[in-house]
Amino acid sequence: MIIEELDYRSLAIPYASNASYPVRSGNALRPLIDGEPAFRRICEAIEQARHRVWATVTFMWASCRMPDGRGTPLDVLNRAAARGVDVRVIFWRPDPETEHLKTNAFWGSSEHVERLRASHSSLLIRWDRAQPGYCQHQKSWLMDAGTEAETAFIGGINLNPHSVVAPGHSGEGENHDAYIELAGPSAVDVHHNFVQRWNEASERELADGRWGAGSEMDLSFPTEVPRRRGSAIVQIQRTIHRGRLADGHATPLGAEFPIEAGERSNFDQYCAAIGAARSSIYIENQYVSVPEMIECLRQALLRGVEIVVLVPAEGDIPEPLAALAEFDHFTLAGIAGLGDDGKRKPVWVHAKLMLIDGKWGTVGSCNLHRFSLFGNCEMNAAFWDEESARTLLAALLDEHLGTDITGLDDRAALRLFGTIARNNRRLSDHGDCGWQGLAFSLLP
d(CA 261, CA 241): 8
Q: What is the pLDDT of residues 48-65, one digit of tens each?
A: 999 999 999 999 999 999
What is the pLDDT, as a whole number, of residue 430?
65
What is the pLDDT, as a whole number, of residue 6?
56
**24-230 CATH:** 3.30.870.10
How much is the average pLDDT of 386-400? Answer: 98
| Cα 377 to Cα 32, 287, 370, 397, distances in angstroms | 22, 16, 12, 30
Helical segments of 355-429, H only: 370-374, 386-401, 410-428
pLDDT at residue 438 greater than cutoff 60: yes
Beta-ladder partners of 32: 179
What is the pLDDT, as a whole number, of residue 7?
63
d(CA 383, CA 360): 6
Using the CB atoms, write b or e for 91-104: b if 16+ within 10 Å.
bbbbbeebeeeeeb
pTM of the model: 0.95
**Reported confidence tier of residue 262, pLDDT bands at 50, 70, 90:** confident
Domains 24-230 and 266-441 share a fold: yes
Nearest Cα to Cα of residue 424 among 351, 323, 334: 334
**266-441 CATH:** 3.30.870.10
- Beta-carbon contacts of 324 under 8 Å, excluding residues fewer than 6 positions away, are 294, 297, 298, 301, 307, 330, 332
Q: Which amino acid is at 308?
A: V
Q: What is the pLDDT of residues 401-421, one digit of tens each?
A: 999 999 999 999 999 999 999
| Cα 338 to Cα 143, 344, 439, distances in angstroms | 36, 5, 12
What is the pLDDT, as a whole number, of residue 246?
56
**Reported confidence tier of residue 260, pLDDT bands at 50, 70, 90:** low
Please state the domain extents for the chain: 24-230, 266-441
**Reported confidence tier of residue 255, pLDDT bands at 50, 70, 90:** low
d(CA 223, CA 212): 26
How much is the average pLDDT of 141-160? Answer: 98
How much is the average pLDDT of 140-161? Answer: 98
Beta-ladder partners of 337: 345
Q: What is the pLDDT of residues 346-367, one digit of tens each?
A: 999 999 999 999 999 999 999 9
